[in-house]
Structure 1
């Protein structure tokens, strides 16, 4: 019997593996790949498939070994170099990933997917101009590369180029109708530009089940979701969804559901740290704790996620409800937190939660970056910092270190209520100052600024007493602090 050529047999096995992968049968494909590599350990096609399959399964170490074995056979293979770069990226080894992306592009400079992967890495490292160049290279080579267009559009948004970002996002939506990731990103860009009707509508994609980057998933409750129906005599259940700052900012709409939508009863499910403070919010009948898993679901006619409420008030004379304060601190609680010293009393907060995806841009590296402010005469400084960075106040004994002693936001509110001014980065404390009607100066990051701060504004419709000090893209924080010091001296 004559044996068929090995090349033909290998091709059939490659086709069999490809068919198994297309049918979602990864385990069978793995067995066939491993069996083949036992007999032919230097088969480059099978080594590459093994590497890709391991990487997609999250087995980074195994993927790396297969890529390296394949590269010993084909050291200049751009696909292998790009794949090995992806494994290093997945492992958080960004320097190694960049090294392999650059090697792949040197071997094949018209490799659109590698340009896109390199752009993603640069974007994540906040190397925005370099990332934009790589996205544009990918689009130049492959104009219909929708994934690269989406990545470029989010980068443009982070760079503050909102009009071009929206234009690119609209193209993605046209090319890939129903892309919920892009719809959500588009909503945030529109909100930042003041296009609130379209913005709030598109921002609902933040929880769409077919959005792979959704912020959270709506719970399945046996209650109708409120879409603006008549609430006269009805009970509305509202559930918090994201950060503490969001709850503080948007809880104002709970009162408006009663006063303007004439709901019979309003129930809030929120965060335990905010419950004592929320007792001061008028027209809320009950405040339940989201973390309480044993709590029975209250009776209600409708329910709504907190950040979906604003869209139902856009046609009112005051869509933002700038009537502050809407939260307050009782005098007896303030008495528990006496503010020492004389002169103008200013509270400071310089770090947000490290878990925030843009924290490296919005937070200061250390309290010492504010040190020049402490020489302003006739001023008493109070630390409101709780958590990350609270110990840094120990190097500044003339600051009153109250933040580390807070147990909840009612404590923070009691101190803020006694201050003349709060200065801080974009975190929940500045929202609390705004909700209490306290003058507040906010230091905004240069990159990936949050959608709630409208572009090209030094004020905000959300908080009339708030002033925004935005960092320019060619500035250090020290320049922003110098502007704040000058403003303090002019008061």
Structure 2
């Protein structure tokens, strides 16, 4: 959603009423004591207003000071002086002066309006809201207050009240730019889609409409799973100039139009696919890369992937056909100097426009496309086993949890969104009775890893200091049975790896999750747990607890590590075990049939090796072959 500028403080009419005969200004009667000084002060206020209208701040301030010297309780003079201080950037002084004016005339709507605007500009939105309310109590049709307060409510996702204020603004003759945009967003959020469509159409019909309107319209269409229309509109996102937190670097290359046309010289040419948004967005849009790379290979073309630095190792391992380089828009743009000539560029978020026009086009989501390093995953599996209490039964499920992400500090809307979709880690203690059958493992990085201590009952295993990039986190996820992650980059990573992932979703989630579906279109193993009531996570966690109970009912019993394995956790990765190494690589790539063949070869070579039996058992259980898994476990013991 956009953040349009609020209407500025308004000095016009500041003196209206306060110099009227006694009794016509509510509680302002004390201002009208008899005497020539009061009359002279009122005349000076008129002079200040005239000077302010002419843009002469110095003369206006001087007139206010003269008026206050005659009458220290001249509320209009205090109010106008506060306005002048605000214009000069002296915000605290401005607030103090307007507060004095409000103390003298507590029911003056314009004083409250100007105080609200000033507080809003300082980021003190809760205080601003109270003053907008006070203004509207006294003047229910104050147009600018309806406009500003409605927008404040819209940004806070109080859509019903926001729509009411915007409609009152419109009924009063208000028609600021973006009125239909704002109402369209509110109506869409309230499920009043016909009204939303009409408002979007009216706004987009204006040749001078804000590009943010097309962005919001795209998100509206995509959330309704109208993919062909939505992704066509989505291609216009860069016209917003970064106000939607989407940034495109122009490499000076022709834009790719979705085809490697061999007839026009596609063979031997190179396409640059570059990142543009957040880490999770880049991983989600990467789900299209297998198809793109297959098309490029068929045409004899090459692909270069320019992605955020934490994704470079992961993408290099997952897409070996491509050249992968780091790219961070506006900070460290991809250096293409050492590469062969590049012929086209395309932002990664444009790929669905070419490859995801219908729901059926998402069928490829059934196939994992990100790959963890099997050796590193094996290392994490052994570390997880080693950290269990000596002699205790092994947990039946190892579950990674991600309770929140770091907000995008440059954008207030995304900071608020991050807070709304995060869950305080202590709330996960509703699952404490699942310990020790369930071992919870933090998937946070070093920035928030220590928060695991706020849920002591869960006894969370912490590897946050090791999470230096997403290749590392992918390896840790590979050693888990399940991931529970709020809507952040880790949920996309788990989905791309093919790991079962449960995502608690806020009442009004991001467009990519649709409105009602309980499983992701983008990832076949991702399941949604939606809020029933906005900002309330209790029932979501209760449903997750029920789902855990169902999963535990069918989960196999793990066998603890043998003493020999605890002493040498790297036994499975010895260089004289090429068959096992190949089997583990294929297992990490989720190619289970091929992995089974190599595990059979490894077992034929070392039929009595506990390490080989352990890894083969894990493959069998992953494939759902419980009988083979148990047989291998028993042989290992």
Task: Note if contact 2:506-2:535 (Cα within 8 Å) is conserved in structure 1.
Answer: no
**Cα 1:428/1:161, change in 2 over 3 Å:** farther
- Secondary structure of the residue that 1:322 maps to in structure 2? helix
Matched, 1:243 2:278: yes
Task: Note if contact 2:160-2:186 (Cα within 8 Å) is conserved in structure 1.
Answer: no
Task: Output the CA distance in 2 between the equivalents of 1:207 and 1:85.
Answer: 33
Matched, 1:288 2:312: no
Task: Output the CA distance in 2 between the equivalents of 1:230 and 1:473.
Answer: 48
Task: Output the CA distance in 2 between the equivalents of 1:223 and 1:7.
Answer: 61
Task: Note if contact 1:166-1:189 (Cα within 8 Å) is conserved in structure 2.
Answer: no
Task: Output the CA distance in 2 between the equivalents of 1:230 and 1:162.
Answer: 38
1:351 is aligned, of 393, 398, 404, to: 404
Task: Output the CA distance in 2 between the equivalents of 1:108 and 1:186.
Answer: 33
**Cα 1:117/1:56, change in 2 over 3 Å:** farther
Matched, 1:224 2:290: no
Residue of structure 1 equivalent to 2:62: 38
Please report how far the alpha carbon of residue 62 of structure 1 lies from its aligned counterpart in structure 2 after TM superposition. 5.8
Task: Output the CA distance in 1 between the equivalents of 2:167 and 2:496.
Answer: 43
Matched, 1:489 2:549: yes
Residue of structure 2 equivalent to 1:464: 524
Residue of structure 2 equivalent to 1:258: 293
1:67-88: per-residue Cα shift (whole Å, max 9, x none)? Answer: 5687689765534431221110
Q: How does 1:20-35 map to 2 (within 5 A)?
A: 29=55, 32-35=56-59
Task: Output the CA distance in 1 between the equivalents of 2:63 and 2:535.
Answer: 60
Task: Output the CA distance in 1 between the equivalents of 2:535 and 2:122.
Answer: 32
1:291-317: per-residue Cα shift (whole Å, max 9, x none)? Answer: 445834553111111111110113586
Residue of structure 1 equivalent to 2:597: none
- Secondary structure of the residue that 1:224 maps to in structure 2? coil
Task: Note if contact 2:256-2:344 (Cα within 8 Å) is conserved in structure 1.
Answer: yes
- Secondary structure of the residue that 2:444 maps to in structure 1? coil
Q: How does 1:116-265 map to 2 (within 5 A)?
A: 116-142=147-173, 144-159=175-190, 164-175=195-206, 177-208=208-239, 213-230=243-260, 232-233=266-267, 234-261=269-296, 262=299, 264-265=301-302
1:441 is aligned, of 480, 484, 502, to: 502
Task: Output the CA distance in 2 between the equivalents of 1:64 and 1:130.
Answer: 27
Task: Output the CA distance in 2 between the equivalents of 1:484 and 1:397.
Answer: 15
Task: Output the CA distance in 2 between the equivalents of 1:11 and 1:489.
Answer: 71
Task: Note if contact 1:238-1:266 (Cα within 8 Å) is conserved in structure 2.
Answer: yes
Please report how far the alpha carbon of residue 380 of structure 1 lies from its aligned counterpart in structure 2 after TM superposition. 2.5
2:433 is aligned, of 335, 350, 375, to: 375
**Cα 1:480/1:12, change in 2 over 3 Å:** closer
**Cα 1:409/1:263, change in 2 over 3 Å:** same
1:245-295: per-residue Cα shift (whole Å, max 9, x none)? Answer: 111111233332221253611111111111111122225421111144583
Residue of structure 2 equivalent to 1:99: 130
1:418 is aligned, of 461, 473, 479, to: 479
- Normalising by structure 1, we get a TM-score of 0.84
Task: Output the CA distance in 1 between the equivalents of 2:176 and 2:92.
Answer: 30
Please report how far the alpha carbon of residue 383 of structure 1 lies from its aligned counterpart in structure 2 after TM superposition. 1.8
Task: Note if contact 2:44-2:63 (Cα within 8 Å) is conserved in structure 1.
Answer: no
Task: Output the CA distance in 2 between the equivalents of 1:264 and 1:490.
Answer: 48
1:344-370: per-residue Cα shift (whole Å, max 9, x none)? Answer: 2221111122334301210002x2212
Task: Output the CA distance in 2 between the equivalents of 1:314 and 1:212.
Answer: 25
- Secondary structure of the residue that 1:208 maps to in structure 2? helix
Give the gaps of 5 or more residues in structure 2: 1-42, 69-74, 386-393, 409-413, 552-637
Task: Output the CA distance in 1 between the equivalents of 2:500 and 2:511.
Answer: 21
Please report how far the alpha carbon of residue 201 of structure 1 lies from its aligned counterpart in structure 2 after TM superposition. 2.0
Task: Note if contact 1:85-1:101 (Cα within 8 Å) is conserved in structure 2.
Answer: yes
Task: Note if contact 2:314-2:470 (Cα within 8 Å) is conserved in structure 1.
Answer: yes
1:125-159: per-residue Cα shift (whole Å, max 9, x none)? Answer: 44444334333332333364553443333344455
Please report how far the alpha carbon of residue 194 of structure 1 lies from its aligned counterpart in structure 2 after TM superposition. 0.8
Which structure dedicates a bigger proportion of its chain to helix? Answer: 2
Please report how far the alpha carbon of residue 318 of structure 1 lies from its aligned counterpart in structure 2 after TM superposition. 2.8
**Cα 1:39/1:115, change in 2 over 3 Å:** closer
Q: Find the structure with the greater CA-based Rg.
A: 2
**Cα 1:125/1:54, change in 2 over 3 Å:** farther
Residue of structure 1 equivalent to 2:306: 269
Task: Note if contact 2:47-2:63 (Cα within 8 Å) is conserved in structure 1.
Answer: no
- Secondary structure of the residue that 1:370 maps to in structure 2? helix
- Normalising by structure 2, we get a TM-score of 0.66
Matched, 1:342 2:342: no
1:363-391: per-residue Cα shift (whole Å, max 9, x none)? Answer: 002x2212232323733322212245422
Q: How big is the alpha-carbon RMSD for the aligned residues of Structure 1 and Structure 2?
A: 3.4
Task: Output the CA distance in 1 between the equivalents of 2:246 and 2:535.
Answer: 34
Task: Output the CA distance in 2 between the equivalents of 1:388 and 1:334.
Answer: 22
Residue of structure 2 equivalent to 1:330: 373
The range that moved more, 435-444 or 162-171, is 162-171
Matched positions, count: 470
Task: Output the CA distance in 2 between the equivalents of 1:428 and 1:384.
Answer: 11
Task: Note if contact 1:154-1:165 (Cα within 8 Å) is conserved in structure 2.
Answer: yes
Task: Output the CA distance in 2 between the equivalents of 1:59 and 1:212.
Answer: 29
